[in-house]
Structure 1
Amino acid sequence: MDREQEQIIRTEYSELMQKSYIDYAMSVIVSRALPDVRDGLKPVQRRTLYDMYELGIRYDRPYRKCARIVGDTMGKYHPHGDSSIYESLVVMAQDFKKGLPLVDGHGNFGSIEGDGAAAMRYTEARLQKVTQDAFLSDLDKDVVDFGPNFDETEKEPQVLPVRLPNLLVNGSEGIAVGMVTSTPPHNLGEVIDAVKATILNHKITTEELMQYIQGPDFPTGGIVINKDDLLSVYETGTGKIRLRGRVEIEKLKGGKERIVITEIPYTMMGANIGKFLNDIAGLVENKTTTDIVDISNQSSKDGIRIVLELRKNADTQNIINMLYKKTRLEDTFGVNMLAVANGKPETLGLKAIIEHHIDFQFELATRKYKNLLGKEKAKQEIQEGLIKACDVIDLIIEILRGSKNREQVKKCLVEGITEGIRFRTKASEKAAAKLHFTENQANAILDMRLYKLIGLEIEALEAEHAQTLKNIAAYEDILTNYRSMAKVIMKDLDRLKKEYASERKTSIENAKAAVFEEKKMEEAEVVVLIDRFGYTRSVDLSVYERNKESADAENRFVVHCLNTDKLCIFTDTGRLHLLKVADLPYGRFRDKGTPLDNLCNYSSTEEEILRIEGLNAVKSTNLLFATQQGMIKKVEGKEFDVSKRTIASTKLTDGDKLIAVLLIGEEEQIVLQSTDGYFLRFMLEEVPVKKKAAIGVRGMKMNAKDQLLQVHLLTPNGDDIAIYKDKEVHLNRLRISKRDAKAVKTRVS
């Protein structure tokens, strides 16, 4: 390129990135993720439905392969990949996701339990009758704007002429850049009633609208339990809706009962049903409840049916409350009614959505009836020309017989030019000169067939003309009179409600918070067994005593405690893991158990267990901590009675690690032993009591390469022995020194 023509534009990199990202974000928001408030559709949904309309896949015609629909839509209108188009098509056909399905699917379109649809080469689809009737029927009447597609080879509608408030009826969910939309579905009949009420009273309040719209109506049914919060949700467009599944109690023989779940919260659809069943099984396994003896999912295409078999004399209502409290049988639906309004994203309340819909309906009706009025006026012109021509038909025939070509006849009929036309009489020529038909009328006369001159045909033409005048008057009244247009719109809404509305599925009520009373566990002594591989279980004390020798030989840790206690697991990294004994598998002595890694935050690959004790034992005394670098301290055991599952039991310097955690009983003296064979004996009272977050004090002076190996607490009047180089060292014979003194190398005999 010539340097004189070269132009370098300098710009700040951050400004360029900001502009580019904003452009990308707005493209995602407006053109991909958010629905338009007017038709309640995202671009991919709108394009899919329009393509099916263009392909002629109507409700009364045969199904067509989904692969054909997806390919055509992608090639013409939506070049963003086939998966997004097919997923959109599938969702529009699923009656458990949409209150008003827009696509009639044939084949495997997935299930409420999360089964995916079959590949698009196997499934077929066509439009639903309501889609053709209420979404696409007026596309030929120039009621919406069309624009170029992505490569400007086709035209596509900017919005569909939807006559139902689809954003409310079917709801919408989508994630854009920095924003999310989540609009719940509603009952068609209720929404239409609310629209009509707003047309008749522009000052209607949200509270008054809720006399018509009780609340969301989810395809899965269920119960909305926070009725009093709905007014705030609908006024602001944001909030939370609490949902519960519907539960029935069936009585069986022998005084037994079972719980049957017949409807689930909308948020539980898909894989969450399987998780719900696993959660119930988990509640049974960890003994939160012992009253559920069997769980079975008997759901089918006819509906949800999850059955929980109960023990005799079980507290059924308490179990139901447990399901509400501890599973997703009670869940929250987050509402954020965000949609594209006037070209930009906006969070809309209930009244605002309805007002946007009404404005759109009046715009559609105005364009529709202007178009129809124009067509009727064009018909009027032709009809009046033909009626007038019937009155002078003999003259027109004479003009036709005396003319040389069509153009000559046309000039005579329109402008009265008789030059070049042979007439039988001068009177006929004078009469022809007075003709003043319009150009359209002249063309219609020239195209008229002779059978139109039959008397009955003339009468039919006059009757048709009278009807045309009647239509023109009606259309002009609709276009100039607000009440007339409103009446037409409401009449159409009444027709759609009568044909497509259904009974409400979701109940709306104010329910009390579920209160679950966990049965208190009967306190009993148990023994926790942990083998060298970390497999953990608890057994009854009597079981342990019968197998004491084997238990002590086969397990690394044997901890006596209560079943209501917690285990304190101290590791060399200075961490303390707390684990409820009740969470451990409880059973027979020969059961394998569960790896400790799976029960708490302990990691067998990163840390080593130094000591395991029951929390009750820890709280009742002080603990002695010692580290590899010789730091020691006492800590009050009650400091470890915390609610967290993992805490720091002590503070360590870089490169140091914990080597001992000991419970202090009646011991009065302590002996520190190093790896090089140095021993230091001093009074235990010299070790200060510190907080668990403290490092501690130095226990004894050591050489640079020496490390603390072991800590011994000496029992009064005992004969404690340590092993060094396979030799016995009698600790009670060591000289008593002071803490932090230099230890003496001990000779072994």
Structure 2
Amino acid sequence: MSEQIIKTEFSDIMQKSYIDYAMSVICQRALPDVRDGLKPVQRRVLYAMQELGLSADKPHRKSARIVGDTMGKYHPHGDSSIYEALVVMEQDFKKGMPLVDGHGNFGSIEGDGAAAMRYTEAKLQKFTQEVYLADMDKNVVDFQSNFDETEKEPVVLPVRIPNLLINGAEGIAVGMTTSIPPHNLSEVVDGVKAYMDNPDITTEELMEYVKGPDFPTGGIVVNQKELKNIYETGSGKMKLRGKVHFEKAKKRSERDKLVITEIPYTMIGANISKFIADVVGLIENKTTSDIVDVSNESSKEGIRIVLELRRNADVERLENLLYKKTRLEDTFGVNMLAIANGRPELLSLKDIISYHTRFHYEVLTRKYETLLKKELEQKEIKEGLIKASDMIDLIIEILRGSKSLKDAKSCLIHGETDNITFKTQKSKKEASKLCFTEKQASAILEMRLYRLIGLEIMALQEEYAEILKKIDKYQDILEHPASMKKVMKKDLEKIKKIYGFERKTELTNAKAAVVKALPIEEKEVVFVMDRFGYSKILDKSTYERNEETVLKEYRHIVHCMNTDKVCVFTDTGVMHQIKVQDIPSGRLRDKGTPLDNIGNYDSRNEQILLIAPDRVLKESSLLFVTAASMVKLVDGAEFIVQKKTVAATKLAEGDTLTAVRIVSAKEGITNAQIIMQSEEGYFLRFPLEEVTRKKKGAIGIRGMKLQEQDHVKHIYLTGVEEEDTPSIIYKEKELVFSKIRLMGRDGKGVKVRR
């Protein structure tokens, strides 16, 4: 067989392949179908469980068996994704209506993972059986071949309620994501009925029934006024809060408590531990002194996080602080994206109800068409049996005179009497007039003799009358939309009566949490940081008692006020700001906290050149010197900014900062001098007043002519109050700067060889 080389554009192939992959992920993995509100993996798990016979009245079966059947027959992907889908459908704190009845450890609201699938067991909830999987045998949905065409699976499940609203959905596809909150079943049913009565209903009118999300964790939605826009557009942000109440101490030995009994839906999982850690952080950072202790007393009965309070604590301020500084108030991003008519579509509340109502109508139509067809078949059979019972003697004579079953059947259907022996010509003549249908003839031939008893014949006639009633009923439902609507409403009302529940989430319009800063008693403190980057704040008295030890053990020591900000300049040309209040206080022997954990400073990629309080910078100038010998003076007031990180200077490509020095502006810099030292041993001394003042966004001017591959290694200042260095030890000997010839800026300098 000859090979043929196809020449094509690589970008075209890549584009087509990526689009195919993206659509596969969107439609076959990540997004739910608007009709049943299920992703393919969820649909396949539920169908596999039904095929295994795991109904609510049967024993639980190992989850591994369910996962194995789902993966082997319908879902050719990883077992972990299948088991995760099974687990989520069991968790009542994630789903408005759990679809799976689990037995064993299926995880907890606090983020504990489920046990391995070999340890847990599961079966279907009764709700799932009756509302999601009922009537599957009545041709209510289409089936398609599975991945290897050895099995058939439903394209969609015949779900009778808008599951997309009741259980919500979360999924990340390619270039799009869906996030739909769960809603109250009773409210959604009422909303569907209202839509059926008035298809032109507005979102505002629909929200009289579907008032808003109803999260299984309860909590409070505090921006109710924004829900209308969210439900009209299909996207927006819901602000959620946990429920907090105050418990007064009953005894003198006890403390007042602030108890959290409901949490935002977004807090479930590891975020509960994160919340407790954040509360502890508020205590350690002295943001609040009203909390004495925090404990998690949650159990199977529900959430209970207890904050013990000091006497006369400001409870209202503390609540606002928790909303402002922790995830007790959080945002739930809504993006109601689902597969509709085979493609992803952003849906409004009315769109979801509309799509599902049409789907429910289609399911019921197919159901009653199947039932009608079955009853019409039974009508045909019953008519034949009743007719046969009226001429039973002739039927018996035909059977006794027939040589084969085929001859008897031909006589009953077509009146063929040639191969049958009759007792009289009259019987033969009557037999030739018979014209039963194929199904009637088969039923007559299979009829048992006991059906000839008088009472049985009466029962047969009663069954026939009942069949006629059912046929009339089914034809009325199929032919009259009003009758179908009545059936749908009755179906929905029954579901609501059996499975409906009270709303858990409260809806309100609350003001944004505002925390007034408590007045701080200003006092002098000392910031210290060791060579490993661990920092802390020391009391002034502690520092003075141990000054010698501090000077020996710490690389950076900055005297400041507790209301100041500490400004950290690094060799990358940026300045990081950290509030002194955000730096934990400690005793002398405490290890401290890495500066990386407090601000934006990254010790792996940055080297600290200067740390100074912002109040000192206000009254000073800053001298910047780079490795490429660019120098400038900048007014310190330029660095009084609100941002935590700003560019302190502009650097040429490949250049880095070598030094940042504070130069006091009180007495000027007339007598000050700068000494620049290069890596090759060149020293240049010139007056500091020759350095030009620039803005922080400027590169600066050249301070020293450098040899090729040389760079500025150190700088020294003389005649400056903050730093006066008259001499250094260079090559094991003292080098006095006054002995170096005073030159002008941009000179080559002199090489010190000793």
SS of aligned partner of 2:238: strand
1:372-391 matched pairs, under 5 angstroms: 372-391=371-390
1:418-433 matched pairs, under 5 angstroms: 418-433=417-432
1:154-233 matched pairs, under 5 angstroms: 154-233=151-230
State the shift of 1:724 in Å: 5.1
1:512-531 matched pairs, under 5 angstroms: 512-531=511-530
**Distance in 2 separating the partners of 1:17 and 1:228:** 46
Q: Which runs of 5+ in 2 are unaligned?
A: none
Change (3 A) 1:510 1:574: closer
Change (3 A) 1:438 1:272: same
Partner of 1:721 in structure 2?
726
Higher mean Cα deviation, 559-568 or 523-532?
Answer: 523-532
1:51-62 matched pairs, under 5 angstroms: 51-62=48-59
Instruction: Verify the 8 A CA contact 1:257 1:310 in the aligned structure 2.
Output: yes
Instruction: Verify the 8 A CA contact 1:677 1:724 in the aligned structure 2.
Output: no
Q: Is residue 317 of structure 1 aligned with residue 310 of structure 2?
A: no
Q: Is residue 670 of structure 1 aligned with residue 672 of structure 2?
A: yes
Instruction: Verify the 8 A CA contact 1:135 1:160 in the aligned structure 2.
Output: yes
**Distance in 1 separating the partners of 2:293 and 2:477:** 65
1:22-45: CA deviations, max 9, x gaps? Answer: 111111111111111111111111
**Distance in 1 separating the partners of 2:628 and 2:468:** 106
SS of aligned partner of 1:669: coil
Change (3 A) 1:90 1:737: closer
State the shift of 1:428 in Å: 2.4
Higher mean Cα deviation, 492-501 or 414-423?
Answer: 414-423
Change (3 A) 1:686 1:466: same
Change (3 A) 1:330 1:607: closer
Partner of 2:697 in structure 1?
693
Higher mean Cα deviation, 135-144 or 551-560?
Answer: 551-560
Change (3 A) 1:679 1:55: closer
**Distance in 1 separating the partners of 2:411 and 2:523:** 117
1:434-456: CA deviations, max 9, x gaps? Answer: 22222221221121111111111
Change (3 A) 1:603 1:76: closer
**Distance in 1 separating the partners of 2:704 and 2:12:** 63
Partner of 1:75 in structure 2?
72
Q: Is residue 370 of structure 1 aligned with residue 375 of structure 2?
A: no
SS of aligned partner of 1:136: coil
Change (3 A) 1:464 1:524: same
Change (3 A) 1:282 1:414: same
Paired amino acid for 2:438: E
TM-score by length of 1: 0.94
State the shift of 1:742 in Å: 6.8
**Distance in 1 separating the partners of 2:688 and 2:48:** 86
Instruction: Verify the 8 A CA contact 2:140 2:366 in the aligned structure 1.
Output: yes
**Distance in 2 separating the partners of 1:540 and 1:242:** 41
Instruction: Verify the 8 A CA contact 1:222 1:264 in the aligned structure 2.
Output: yes
**Distance in 1 separating the partners of 2:707 and 2:148:** 80
Q: How many residues align?
A: 744
Partner of 2:658 in structure 1?
658
Instruction: Verify the 8 A CA contact 2:674 2:688 in the aligned structure 1.
Output: no
Higher mean Cα deviation, 535-544 or 15-24?
Answer: 535-544
Partner of 2:616 in structure 1?
617
Higher mean Cα deviation, 389-398 or 90-99?
Answer: 389-398
Aligned-residue RMSD, C-alpha? 2.6
Instruction: Verify the 8 A CA contact 1:256 1:313 in the aligned structure 2.
Output: no
Paired amino acid for 1:292: I
SS of aligned partner of 2:672: strand
Partner of 1:236 in structure 2?
233
Change (3 A) 1:290 1:465: same
Partner of 1:117 in structure 2?
114
SS of aligned partner of 2:81: helix
1:702-713 matched pairs, under 5 angstroms: 709-713=714-718
1:271-290 matched pairs, under 5 angstroms: 271-290=270-289
Q: Which runs of 5+ in 1 are unaligned?
A: none
1:313-360: CA deviations, max 9, x gaps? Answer: 111111111111111111111111111111111111111111111111
Partner of 2:246 in structure 1?
249
**Distance in 2 separating the partners of 1:742 and 1:32:** 69
State the shift of 1:207 in Å: 1.3
Instruction: Verify the 8 A CA contact 1:626 1:711 in the aligned structure 2.
Output: no
Instruction: Verify the 8 A CA contact 1:671 1:731 in the aligned structure 2.
Output: no
Partner of 1:262 in structure 2?
261
Change (3 A) 1:409 1:636: same
**Distance in 1 separating the partners of 2:330 and 2:724:** 64
Partner of 1:596 in structure 2?
595
State the shift of 1:540 in Å: 1.7
Paired amino acid for 1:661: R
**Distance in 2 separating the partners of 1:168 and 1:720:** 74
Partner of 1:417 in structure 2?
416
Partner of 1:540 in structure 2?
539
State the shift of 1:264 in Å: 0.9
State the shift of 1:263 in Å: 0.9
Change (3 A) 1:460 1:727: closer
1:504-653 matched pairs, under 5 angstroms: 504-604=503-603, 606-627=605-626, 630-653=629-652
Paired amino acid for 2:612: E
Instruction: Verify the 8 A CA contact 1:671 1:680 in the aligned structure 2.
Output: no
Higher mean Cα deviation, 609-618 or 739-748?
Answer: 739-748
1:228-282: CA deviations, max 9, x gaps? Answer: 1111111121111111111111111459522111111111111111111111122
SS of aligned partner of 2:92: coil
Paired amino acid for 2:672: I
Partner of 1:63 in structure 2?
60
Change (3 A) 1:669 1:10: same
State the shift of 1:680 in Å: 6.2
Paired amino acid for 2:494: R
SS of aligned partner of 2:72: helix
